[in-house]
Amino acid sequence: MRHTLFAACFLFIGSIAGFAQVIDEHHGQGYAFFATGVTAPDDSSFMHVGGGGEALIKRVGIGGEIGYLGAWDRLSDGIGVGNVNGSFNLRPGKVSPFVTGGYTLFFRSETANGYNFGGGVNYWLSDRAGFRFEVRDNVMPDYEDEHFVGFRFGVTFR
What is the pLDDT, as a whole number, of residue 27?
A: 72
Task: Give the global pTM.
Answer: 0.81
CA atoms within 13 A on the CB side of 115: 7
Percent of the chain with pLDDT over 90: 73
Q: What are the sequence ranges of the domains in the chain? A: 2-157
Give the integer Cα–Cα distance in Å for 137 and 82: 13
What is the pLDDT, as a whole number, of residue 26?
A: 52
- Taking 80 as the threshold, does the pLDDT of residue 116 lie above it? yes
- Taking 50 as the threshold, does the pLDDT of residue 75 lie above it? yes
- Taking 80 as the threshold, does the pLDDT of residue 100 lie above it? yes
- Taking 80 as the threshold, does the pLDDT of residue 17 lie above it? no
Contacts for 131 with CB less than 8 Å, ≥ 6 apart: 122, 123, 125, 153, 154, 155, 156
The CATH architecture to which 2-157 belongs is Beta Barrel (2.40)
Estimate to the nearest angstrom the gap between the alpha carbon of 108 and the chain centroid: 17
Burial of 11 (0-12, 13-18, 19+ CB in 10 A): exposed
